[in-house]
Amino acid sequence: MIEVKGLVKLYGSKRAVDGVTFTVKRGEILGFLGPNGAGKSTTMKMITGFLQPTAGTAVVDGHDVTQDPVAVKRRIGYLPESAPAYGEMTVEEFLSFIAETRGFRSPEARTTQVNRAIGLTHLDPVRRQTIETLSKGYKQRVGFAQALLHDPPVLVLDEPTDGLDPNQKNEVRALIKNMATEKAVILSTHILEEVEAICTRVIIISQGRVVVDETPAKFQARQPGARLDAIFRSLTQSDV
Amino acid sequence: MSQITPLFKREFLGYFRSPVGYVFLAVFLMASVILAFFVGGFFRSNTASLETLFNFYPWLFLFLIPAAGMRLWSEEKRTGTIELLFTLPVTTLQAVLGKYLAAWAFLALAIVLSFPMAITVAYLGDPDWGVLIAGYVGSILMAGSYLGVCSLTSAVTKNQVISFVISLLACLILLFLGLSVFNNALSSVMPTWAVDLLANFSFSTHFAAFTKGIIDPKDVIYFLSLSGFTLFLNVVVLER
């Protein structure tokens, strides 16, 4: 579903992403881990077509992002870090705008999609509020609703549980897990337990390179009995 | 083309979702009326025309259009919504056109809302409607060119103040190139043909004919090509 082939991103002379390669199949939930500044977000931005890679490419559902970015964008639901949204719009207006650009042209089709996304993310109590007045948890869910709206085959989620309380975190995890059977999901996170809870595979990225690509069980087996963050620290120490 | 519609709608309605639009319209109309009546001598001119209004437009636009245009892209960059916008299935050109056309339509609305002045003139005298309409056409075309410059400068920075100041400066140069005071000063250091060439790039040179009721194709082409060129640069800057 997602094939990432030797992605490189240079910022000046700094190699933010340095030859990242991996694939994600349908039904997989890939946990993307790494210290801040390791290149997680940059990699995701290149997969979604927001940033041009310096070298390499990503192929999503058969479409090359450097050749046909619009086709790739149609197939991806993307939640950017900190869930940006047009604050002066109400939740309903905002999701309706997203639905329209996602190709749901008739008002009925739009309403159906918007209601579905609002139902999935439990936004009903705030649907007529402007986004700028919402709490962080609600804002995050608006971003999540926006990513799910067109029921995309591929989900790219940059820290989807950031800013949520423990109950909401569990809810979002359950939602991702339920949907993942027919989707390919990439999610980045700082919470190692999250990887254990929902991911079928884990990739650790450090200084722009993939240092680990295996199942969570194998990852734990590297140091049996140790806490995940201890293993994580020993693998990414060079970044600190 | 169809992808431009939702972007246009969101941007245009966005002016009325916050006080920005109303404040802009109020200030624009108040300033134009004050300039026309008190500075321009609307009644003293003793002619049934809006020349006293239109003559101030190049100066009014100089301050107000950068104020309207500065947020176009810098706001998207500052709030991070640009990441959302460019991971929707739209091309950079569609996004640039959608936003530009919406802002232009908003400015056209501001200009057209001065129609009570035209009615006043028609009540007091017998104006030449052809001249009035030519004045409005010219004003709207010139507003488009100012806006093109402002849209471009706002794509360069995420700081709205910097965006405003650069727009103002760029528009000031384009306006001054046509003023005789400025040209006389220039002709002491430059050959006449060079001064004439520079004067040809000025807003004021091309706007003057419209206020006299002449819609000259070369003036129309000047404004449209200036807008087109700045929008082309706008796309280049955003794709960089």
Per-residue pLDDT of chain B (240 residues; tens, 9 = 90+): 688 999 999 999 999 998 989 999 999 999 998 988 888 777 777 777 788 888 899 999 999 999 998 889 999 999 999 999 999 999 999 999 999 999 999 999 999 999 888 888 888 888 888 899 999 999 999 999 999 999 999 999 888 899 999 999 999 988 888 777 777 777 777 788 878 777 788 888 889 889 888 899 999 999 999 999 999 999 999 987
User: Which residue matches tokens 């056209």?
Assistant: B108
Residue B77: closest CA among B6, B2, B151: B151
Q: Provide the sign of the torsion angle of the four alpha carbons B44, B45, B50, B52, taken in this order.
A: negative
Below-70 pLDDT ranges, chain A: 238-240
Q: What is the SS3 assignment for B17?
A: helix
CA B178, chain centre distance (Å): 16
The predicted pLDDT at position A175 comes to: 86
Helix (H) or strand (E) holding A179: helix A166-179
Q: How many domains does chain B have?
A: 1
Residues of chain B found within 8 Å of residue A103, distances taken between Cβ atoms: 89
Residues of chain B found within 8 Å of residue A76, distances taken between Cβ atoms: 87
Domain that holds residue B213: 4-239
Q: How far is CA B33 from CA B41, B50, B54, B115, B137, in A?
A: 11, 11, 11, 11, 19
Rounded-to-5 percentages of helix, strand, coil across chain B: 80, 0, 20
The predicted pLDDT at position A240 comes to: 46
Q: What is the dihedral of CA A166, A171, A174, A176, to 10 degrees?
A: -100
**Taking CB atoms and an 8 Å limit, are B87 and A84 in contact across chains?**
no
Residue B230 structure tokens = 């700045």
**Taking CB atoms and an 8 Å limit, are A70 and B91 in contact across chains?**
yes
What CATH number does the domain containing A39 carry? 3.40.50.300
Any residues with CB less than 8 A from the CB of B210 and at least 6 apart, and which? Answer: B54, B134, B135, B137, B138, B139, B141, B142, B219
Q: What is the SS3 assignment for A213?
A: strand
**Taking CB atoms and an 8 Å limit, are B79 and A98 in contact across chains?**
no
Residues of chain B found within 8 Å of residue A84, distances taken between Cβ atoms: 79-81, 83-84
Largest CA distance in chain A: 56
Q: Which residue of A has its CA nearest to B17?
A: A88
The predicted pLDDT at position A238 comes to: 62
Separation of alpha carbons A71 and A61, rounded Å: 9
Largest CA distance in chain B: 57
CB pairs under 8 A between A and B: 60
How many other C-beta atoms lie within 10 A of the C-beta of residue B191? 9
Residue A17: closest CA among A155, A207, A237, A154: A207
DSSP A130: B
Q: By the 8 A CB rule, do B214 and B189 touch?
A: no
Q: By the 8 A CB rule, do A77 and A156 touch?
A: yes
**Taking CB atoms and an 8 Å limit, are A76 and B87 in contact across chains?**
yes
Half-sphere exposure of A129 (CA within 13 A, CB side): 13
Q: By the 8 A CB rule, do A207 and A19 touch?
A: no
**Taking CB atoms and an 8 Å limit, are A84 and B83 in contact across chains?**
yes
Task: Kindly report, residue by residue over A202-211, the tens digit of the pLDDT.
Answer: 999 988 888 8
The predicted pLDDT at position A224 comes to: 74
Q: How many domains does chain A have?
A: 1
Separation of alpha carbons B52 and B226, rounded Å: 26
Q: Provide the sign of the torsion angle of the four alpha carbons B224, B100, B95, A92, taken in this order.
A: negative
Q: What is the SS3 assignment for A60?
A: strand
Separation in Å, CA of A152 to nearest CA in chain B: 12
User: Which residue matches tokens 């423990």?
Assistant: A166
CA A57, chain centre distance (Å): 18
Separation of alpha carbons A4 and A27, rounded Å: 17
Domain that holds residue A115: 2-239
Q: Which residue of B has its CA nearest to A82?
A: B80
Supply the angle between the helices B71-79 and B129-156 in degrees, to the nearest 10: 30
**Taking CB atoms and an 8 Å limit, are B6 and A45 in contact across chains?**
no
User: What's the pTM value of the predicted model, to 2 decimals?
Assistant: 0.90
Residues of chain A found within 8 Å of residue B236, distances taken between Cβ atoms: none
Residue A228: closest CA among A200, A204, A210: A204
